[in-house]
A = this chain, B = another copy of it.
Amino acid sequence: MPLDPRTKMVAGAAQLIGERGVGATSVRELAKFTGAPLGSTYHYFPGGKDQLVEEAMVWVSRRVEKVLARAGEGGALAALDAFIGNWREFLIASDYEASCPILAVATEDTTTAGPASEVFKTWQGLLVPVLTRDGVPLERAERLAWLIVSSLEGAVVMARSQRSPVPLEAVAEEIRGLIRDAVKP
């Protein structure tokens, strides 16, 4: 299904931000990239670039939340694998040229850094009940959830930086083992 021009711009913003960061993503380039006229930008997004960035983050976050919620029903390991798979596909699809747009926003000090921080907290918060439901004590679940989000966000940067799946797969395997041990006994 072909996206309407508006969401095409939102998706394009997410992609470009993941590839070059928000500061290096200009609305002119984004317009050209998505085949939309520059003038349309401020028609669709009267809030300007900030609104565009924020919507791009929401767009990415919703995707991940959906993946997490769906796989979470299958238990902690399933949720973890889905989370890992999400980033693996993400990296492959961009040929290791993009990292997480949320992380890009969070790294640069923009007015949209607040929302970025909420996205991370949301992801971590979604993982906690999945872990406790599998028998992990709450306090440990909180920690493990931060570890999962942190290590995978970090691993995506490493993998992109090395232009190789190795760092991501290394992190994936180790985290998988850790969660397995935390869940089983």
Given A146-B155, A178-B178, 4 more contacts at CB 8 Å?
A: A104-B108, A116-B161, A153-B157, A154-B155
Q: Are A117 and B161 in contact (CB under 8 A)?
A: yes
Q: Is A62 an interface residue (CB 8 A)?
A: no
In the complex, which of the residues A103, A110, A121 has the most CB atoms of chain B within 10 Å of its own CB atom? Answer: A103
A24 to B111, CA, bound (A): 13
Copies of this chain per assembly = 2
Per-residue CB proximity of A96-136 to B under 8 Å, as 1/0? 01010001101111100100110011001000000000000
Q: Which residues of B lie under 8 Å from residue A24 when comparing CB positions?
A: 23, 108-110
- In the complex the two chains form, what is the Cα distance from A160 to B105 in whole Å? 12
A38 adjacent to chain B (CB < 8 Å): no
If over half of A's interface residues share one DSSP class (helix, strand or loop), that class is named, otherwise mixed; here it is helix
Which B residues are in CB contact (< 8 Å) with A143? 170-171, 173-174
Binding site for B on A (CB under 8 A): 19-21, 23-24, 97, 99, 103-104, 106-110, 113, 116-117, 120-121, 124, 142-144, 146-147, 149-155, 157-158, 160-163, 166-167, 170-171, 173-175, 178
Q: How far is the CA of A177 from the CA of B169 in the complex (A)?
A: 20
Question: How far is A23 from B104 in the complex, measured between Cα atoms in Å?
Answer: 12
**Cross-chain contact A146 with B120 (CB below 8 angstroms):** no
